[in-house]
Chains A and B, each alone.
Chain A
Amino acid sequence: MLSLMIVDDSNIIRRKIERCNDSDKFRVVAAAANGAEALELFKQTRPQVVTMDLTMPEMDGIACIQQLMAMDSGLRILVISALSDKATGIDALKKGARGFLCKPFTDDQLLEALTELTED
């Protein structure tokens, strides 16, 4: 079972992702509402997988990905964002994310994206 941290400024999205992961594949170890909080929780919980929103207050997702990858280059990050342009997706992947899921998303799409992420 892989440990998972959820990063999103929306509580209902955090809860939706948590509900989707009610399986034997992932165990949610932390949930953060912005990038700064995610960095603190990462140090405490050391998750293997992260779902990352991009548009957040205090520290956005792209800046957070850079800092997380500096701490753990093997971290698997799935960006989950409404920002649907190619340049944003490419930028996130260049910074170290391994997948991109566009909002809105279904439970099946999320599980498929997380499974792909962990099968690499």
Chain B
Amino acid sequence: MSQETLQVFIDGVVRYFHHTNDKDVKVGTPYLVENNNPAAYDVTGIIGISGPYRGCVYFTAPRILLKHLLLSIGELDTSNEHIFDLVGEVANTISGNARSRFGHEFMISVPVMIEGAPNQIHLPSQMRSYVIPVYWKAYHAAVVICLEQ
């Protein structure tokens, strides 16, 4: 995966957080992981990708980050339902925004949200994923890109 491709998703993360009331987000250096040990926090929103690119993009974050993020977009109800909704919406927004670079053939699914241990995320074993670390307030999250062209 090229630096340019990764930058599309980095820009998407920064753009999302810049539309909240706490804009000070930092993105770390992306790194590769084996798919038998995927990166994940408490709650994850996964978007399936099809077309010329195939695979998935997901946003994963601790519950406490998502509660604060809800408040930061003006949503006072930090119930579990809204936490799941938000993690899917962040994944959807970052993936959808990537179409400005990849075009309409970069097909994205509706988000699937999961909770729990990393072993509940099943990624193609023959591929590796790039992890983009996200630092916001005192919390860590990640955008994970698992794509082949």
Contact = CB atoms under 8 A, between A and B. Distances in A.
B13 to A, nearest CB: 11
A74 interface: no
Contacts, number: 66
Given A10-B85, A55-B110, A84-B99, A104 B74 contact: no
Interface residues of A, number: 25
Interface string A1-43: 0000000011111011001000000000000000000000000
B24 to A, nearest CB: 16
Interface string B3-45: 0000000000001100100000000000000000000000000
Nearest to B83: A12
B50 interface: no
Interface residues of B, number: 29
A96 B108 CA distance: 23
A104 B19 contact: yes
B110 A57 contact: yes
Contact of A87 (B77, B94, B104, B109): B104
A16 B82 CA distance: 12
Contact of A82 (B75, B86, B93, B104): B93
8 contacts: A13-B89, A55-B109, A57-B110, A82-B93, A82-B96, A83-B99, A88-B99, A107-B74
